[in-house]
A = this chain, B = another copy of it.
Amino acid sequence: MSFGMIATWRMAYEGVVKMTAELAKGVTANQALVEAIKMVEDYPYYKSVGFGGLPNEEGQLELDAAFMDGDTLDIGAVAGIQETKNPIVVAEALSHERFNSFLVGLGATKYAKEQGFEQQEMVTERAKRLWELRLEEVQKNNLSPYDGHDTVGMISLDQAGKMVAGTSSSGLFMKKRGRVGDSPLSGSGFYVDSQIGGATATGLGEDLMKGCLSYETVRLMGEGLSPQAAVDQAVYRFNDKLVERKSKAGALSLVCMNPQGQWGIATNVEFSFVVATETEAPEVYIARPEGNRTEIVVATKEWLKAYDLRIKKPLS
């Protein structure tokens, strides 16, 4: 059998490199995905996921995550969880519960504490400084405060043919307390069925949930479309519908994979993603919309270097 992983954004690269090597040795899709997302959550310079994520308007870091099992369709999710080192681990654990598998706010944080999941202060000094700088900028220039919503979303396929999906996010920078985007929402932020394939999203959650784009992408693969044709149709048709109904569409970016390890991606903004399969070495790609199709290129060394400098840029 084939194996593979696809994930949103450059930040997933290290986890995909490490865990596709493990998939090659036979680890499960669950282990590969959870471990790879943990690596993103733990890295302090990724400012939209886990430790080092950017706080809400009150300065608290509230995190969302979800896990879906493509064999059983079981889902676990948390939203607005605080002080919990790895929200993806809590979401995976909740996916084994028949009841109470999606917990939010204080209830989610309490569950994580009581069940012994690792607790940690999650707001870094750097995140706090970025938050202060943004507040000043917003006040000075009378801007909308909302910016940045880079969820790590991932699909993993193991050699037994099992597929899982997962997401982890600190949500919209400067969000209101308790704001939830698409990341923990089935069908919007993620969907997977091992017999068909999986999809996961990043972008403006408030718009992504209007279209249930992860479910729609998987459904179209189930009708026989290739992953690329499925995700192109789901994303660009819905983008056009939003523009028609509301005259604008927020960022919508989706990646998907089928049980053969074939993959697809569509986006209405410039967007980076990571893929590795049995036959394709791990690579960071850049995608751009080109009419109602997607242009995909391998990220250059210059792009990767500029990215690294940008995320670690010293702050004033």
Contacts and interface: CB of A to CB of B under 8 A. Distances in A.
A178 interface: yes
Nearest to A104: B104
Contact of A176 (B73, B111, B178): B111
Contacts of A101: 206
Interface residues of A, number: 50
Nearest to A250: B98
A73 B206 contact: no
Given A73-B210, A215-B212, A105 B102 contact: no
B179 A100 contact: yes
Interface in A232-262: 241-242, 245-246
For A98, A107, A211, the residue with the greatest tally of chain B CB atoms inside 10 Å of its CB is A107
Nearest to A101: B206
A107 B178 contact: yes
Contacts of A98: 206
A36 interface: no
A241 B205 CA distance: 28
For A103, A104, A211, the residue with the greatest tally of chain B CB atoms inside 10 Å of its CB is A104
B105 A80 contact: yes
A169 interface: no
Contacts of A107: 62, 80, 105, 176-179
Interface in A202-220: 205-206, 209-212, 215-216, 219
Contact of A209 (B100, B186, B211): B186
Question: How many copies altogether?
Answer: 2
Contacts of A175: 99-100
A180 interface: yes
B187 A100 contact: no
Contacts of A205: 102
Contact of A177 (B73, B106, B185): B106
A131 interface: no
A242 to B, nearest CB: 7
Contacts of A55: none
B178 A103 contact: yes
Nearest to A180: B102
Contacts of A172: 99-100
A283 interface: no
Nearest to A77: B180
A188 B80 CA distance: 20
A178 B99 contact: no
A231 interface: no
Contact of A105 (B71, B73, B105): B105
The 3 lowest CB-CB distance pairs between A and B, nearest first, are: A107-B178, A105-B105, A107-B177
